[in-house]
Amino acid sequence: MSRTEVYLNMKEITEVHNKKVQLKDVAELWCPDPALEARLKALTVKIIREDRNRRYVESILDVLGLIRSAAPAAQVISVGKTEYIIDYHKPQKPLYAWEWLKTIFVCFICFFGAAFAIMTFNNDVDVTKVFQEIYFMITGSQSDGFTALEVSYSVGLAVGITVFFNHFSRWKINTDPTPLEVEMRLYEENISKTVIQNEGRKEQETDVS
């Protein structure tokens, strides 16, 4: 008698707002039997007791045990993570004013921070003097500080930033992820790895008295 294959792909981290966490919340599951698939997806993998925001590191071994208890004849094939994170957040009403305030604050920080970095770079390499010398070499006259060089440099800087970040308002230049999206994904991956490693690390107390 052939055994029903169940393919299981655990997500590395999942944000949940319900204290009763089901398998479908933290994993992707597929099997040729639709009824069995629906029954397994509804399995409860964890019930959160604490009423506070917290990350929980769980093992796939517990999930395999649940599936084996619910479907002894199933052959589970894991194609995902061996450890996963449940990121529980207490349900609350969205605070749109606070979200907009944070967004505006971050925009101000990015704008003025980038402007300061560009200005310090220009002063460090003395771009103004370089432009004056280039303008004198080409035209034979002194620059007044507002020439085609300064204008083209300013326009090119804005266009270059837009092209580099691959994002302008709601439109993207191409389908590639933006540098910010790449950095955010790397940051999330590092956070997940650190949480899992800290959970598995055995802390030992040292008596120095």
Mean pLDDT of the 151-179 span: 77
Q: How far is CA 178 from CA 23, 94, 104, 111, 159, in A?
A: 32, 27, 20, 17, 15
Mean pLDDT of the 150-174 span: 77
The per-residue pLDDT for 167 is 67
121: CB partners within 8 A, 6+ apart: none
Question: How many domains, the chain?
Answer: 2
Distance linking the first and last C-alpha atoms of the chain: 65
Residues 57 and 126 in one domain: no
The per-residue pLDDT for 169 is 61
51-90 confidence digits (pLDDT tens): 889 999 999 999 999 999 999 988 999 998 889 999 999 8
- What does R_g of the chain's alpha carbons equal in angstroms? 28
**Domain final residue, candidates 88, 106, 129:** 88
- Whether this model's pTM surpasses 0.95: no
Handedness of CA 180, 182, 187, 188 (dihedral sign): positive
Percent of the chain scoring above 90 in pLDDT = 37
**Domain final residue, candidates 88, 118, 138:** 88
User: Per-residue confidence at 28, pLDDT binned at 50, 70, 90?
Assistant: very high
User: Cα separation of 86 and 26, whole Å?
Assistant: 7
Residues 104 and 147 in one domain: yes
